[in-house]
A and B are shown apart, each in its own frame.
Chain A
Amino acid sequence: MRKTITERQLSRAFEATLANGAWSSKYPPLRQVLREMHCQQGQPDLVGTVTSVSAIPAKIRARLALALRRPSGARLLSLLRESTPRSEEFLLRTSGLSREIVRRTLSELKKLRLVIPRGDNRYLCAPALRRYSHQELWAFEVKVEHWQRAFYQALQYRAFADRAAIVLAMPLAHRAEKHVARFRLFGIGIIAVDPYTGAMRTLARPRKQHPLSRFHQLYALGQFLNRRTAPIPKNPATSRIRGPLSGPQLSNEVSDI
């Protein structure tokens, strides 16, 4: 059996689990899922939101999507505050961006009304940013067996995610279970999934923690806002999944669950 399980199969079985009762009986349902998301800290197999980004008012969503489509926008917004103005020199010094990019990005952000100029080349960020920019994100790394690598990657995802977990094939998950204390130290979850039945078992619960990096958090939100939403299978997995799994092809797109 070990040789026949692929990461793709496991990933699809886990997605099916997210859509059925096995997940929602233990965790809040994930409204949208993005596969293979670029996050400037590796590429998680799945990232899910607890609240759909569609819940952000359409006009603000559009402005945020434009502002966060490039890392420079996320970088500058992560450095700005609502009540303490930051100077252009400060942004230049701390962002690592060139003066030209800082100025161009600030100009774009001003047009989008996400940055408020305060004179003397000093800027505040708009209250809308704080209000709508924090969407609770869950990041998952799916591995059939290499739990050490998955653990390292999950730690990377803590830069932007509120919760991070590794998803392992159930028959091999006992290897990571022996090291569960290490996962708990950093709040990383271990979820074992049976790739054939879709059964799920939590070996360590992913702990809710504030994302480590404001920049990565905003950039990740930008990824959600700028990906097209794909039609999703209604109940892609029922009680039993047989391999090879059938269903929609995996692609880099957002799915509503």
Chain B
Amino acid sequence: MYTYAQHGYGKSDKIETAIRQGSVSGVILSPRDEQPERLAQYIATLRQEFADQVTILFDPQFYATTVTPVRDGYLPDYPYYQPGLTRGRFIAPLDIQQYVSDVIDYQLPLGLDRIISPTVFFSDFTDPWSQIALSMAQQSTVLGAGLAQPLLLSLVFDETALRNRTALNDFLDIISVWDVEGFYLVIRRNDTTYQAFSDDLILKNLMYLTYVLAEVNDFEIVLGYSDFVGLLLHAVGAEATGTGWYNTLRQFSLARFQPATGGRPARPRYTSDALLNSILVVPELAAIYQRGRLPQVIATTSYDGTLANGNPANAAWPPDVACLHHWEVLSRLAAEVATQGSVAASLDRLQERIQQAVATYNLLLTAGIPFEVATGQRELDVWLRAIRSFRQEAGL
């Protein structure tokens, strides 16, 4: 069980600090956000300081090649990247072989712990793009067979694909026989608010997908951009989940690769282990303080002393500190959930945690403290339903 930092723009020294402090044990690098030379240098720096105490992955983000118009940052500086690819450019097997080989060859000399295969984004397990993704994965298994580093097959798809259980089963039948180390999964969320709304069917099937691959078939499963939802996936066997500093690095959306018109600065948040959520410092945490309920939500990490001892609205809570705090809380929760000895015990512990969080929310609501929909207990109710349904189905 590990928490990985999902790298993006403006990394400063957060990742190194979190590795030193033990709250993240790996990093999933984003070429979109760093020049190739700087990224190679960064890998070397991490390796020099942390040797094999850090797992370094590189998400090639090949799926951005099919996004138009695209906001691809530094990706065009990477030799394997070809913007504006259409379906017609994936018909010839030789083309697919070339894409795969270019991406894998690029990663080989970087000193990574795993090689991540290229893929394309698909919306449904039965659509033409999913067939292209399978072809690329198949080709990657061929080219990856003789590699020194283990290979993770990458799959990036829309969460709505998980509604179709029959298609998911068929898909699992195909991919679960491949001879690879594991999978790097990225699920596109349709709700752009943080935390994104999920429905319980989608979550249940995501747990099922992770469980079948990780527990039943013993693959290493790394789920990028997972954040809090990663707790459910750790409970069913995920090896690692990724989370970053911006909301766009905590839940995946193709909007990250599409032209943006700008936005307002993110409002400061506080991640509470008791609430299993990141609430807004103003007005939510400030209102909790005003009502004398702060001790019930404070996570007590290496960073939040400044908020715990006075009016949080006036406390220094810069984004880097908030991020390091968030990672510490998440990794602590993930460790707690994943180290119970069995999937059933992990799920028991997680359910207990969620029920406690619901109770804490109810207490705060009774005290008159308001929450926005996304910072309230909506997700907790969905998680509980998804877990119950998954357990019933898996007989756990």
Nearest A-chain residue to B280, judged by Cβ: A156
- Tell me the chain A residues, 164-178 only, with Cβ under 8 Å from chain B: none
B378 at the interface (CB under 8 A from A): no
B73 at the interface (CB under 8 A from A): no
**A94-B316, A96-B319, A213-B313 known; A159-B370 Cβ under 8 A:** no
Q: Chain A residues with Cβ under 8 A from B287's Cβ? A: 155, 186
- A residues sitting closer than 8 Å to B (CB atoms) are 40-41, 71, 79, 93-97, 148, 151-152, 155-156, 158-159, 181-182, 185-186, 212-216
B311 at the interface (CB under 8 A from A): yes
Are B313 and A152 neighbours in the complex by a CB distance under 8 Å? no
Nearest A-chain residue to B267, judged by Cβ: A41
Whole-angstrom distance between the Cβ of A95 and the nearest chain B Cβ:
6
**A41-B282, A186-B368 known; A94-B313 Cβ under 8 A:** no
Are A159 and B282 neighbours in the complex by a CB distance under 8 Å? yes
B265 at the interface (CB under 8 A from A): yes
B357 at the interface (CB under 8 A from A): no
A155 CA to B287 CA in the complex, in Å? 8
- Tell me the chain B residues, 289-320 only, with Cβ under 8 Å from chain A: 290-291, 311, 313-314, 316, 318-320
Q: Chain B residues with Cβ under 8 A from A158's Cβ? A: 282-283, 286, 313
**A159-B282, A186-B287, A213-B282 known; A95-B314 Cβ under 8 A:** no
Q: Chain A residues with Cβ under 8 A from B267's Cβ? A: 40-41
A214 CA to B316 CA in the complex, in Å? 11
Q: With A93-B318, A97-B318 given, name 18 new contacts (CB 8 A).
A: A41-B282, A71-B265, A94-B318, A152-B370, A152-B372, A155-B283, A155-B287, A155-B370, A156-B282, A158-B283, A182-B368, A185-B368, A212-B282, A212-B286, A212-B311, A212-B313, A215-B314, A216-B313
Are A40 and B265 neighbours in the complex by a CB distance under 8 Å? yes
Q: CB within 8 A of B313: which of A71, A148, A159, A185?
A: A159
A215 CA to B368 CA in the complex, in Å? 26
A96 CA to B320 CA in the complex, in Å? 7
Are A212 and B314 neighbours in the complex by a CB distance under 8 Å? yes
Are A95 and B286 neighbours in the complex by a CB distance under 8 Å? no
A96 CA to B322 CA in the complex, in Å? 10
A139 CA to B316 CA in the complex, in Å? 24
Most A CB atoms within 10 A — which of B282, B291, B320, B370? B282
Nearest B-chain residue to A91, judged by Cβ: B316
A215 CA to B283 CA in the complex, in Å? 14
**A40-B265, A152-B370, A185-B291 known; A79-B316 Cβ under 8 A:** yes
A181 CA to B368 CA in the complex, in Å? 9
Q: Chain B residues with Cβ under 8 A from A214's Cβ? A: 314
Nearest B-chain residue to A158, judged by Cβ: B283
- Tell me the chain B residues, 261-294 only, with Cβ under 8 Å from chain A: 265, 267, 282-283, 286-287, 290-291
Most A CB atoms within 10 A — which of B291, B316, B321, B372? B316
Q: Chain B residues with Cβ under 8 A from A79's Cβ? A: 316
A159 CA to B283 CA in the complex, in Å? 8
Most A CB atoms within 10 A — which of B287, B291, B319? B287
Whole-angstrom distance between the Cβ of A100 and the nearest chain B Cβ:
13
Nearest A-chain residue to B306, judged by Cβ: A94
A213 CA to B285 CA in the complex, in Å? 13
A94 CA to B316 CA in the complex, in Å? 5
Q: Chain A residues with Cβ under 8 A from B314's Cβ? A: 212-215
Q: Chain B residues with Cβ under 8 A from A182's Cβ? A: 368
Nearest B-chain residue to A157, judged by Cβ: B283
Q: CB within 8 A of B370: which of A41, A148, A213, A216?
A: A148
A88 CA to B173 CA in the complex, in Å? 59
A186 CA to B368 CA in the complex, in Å? 9
Are B283 and A152 neighbours in the complex by a CB distance under 8 Å? yes
Nearest A-chain residue to B268, judged by Cβ: A96
Nearest B-chain residue to A94, judged by Cβ: B316
Nearest A-chain residue to B289, judged by Cβ: A212
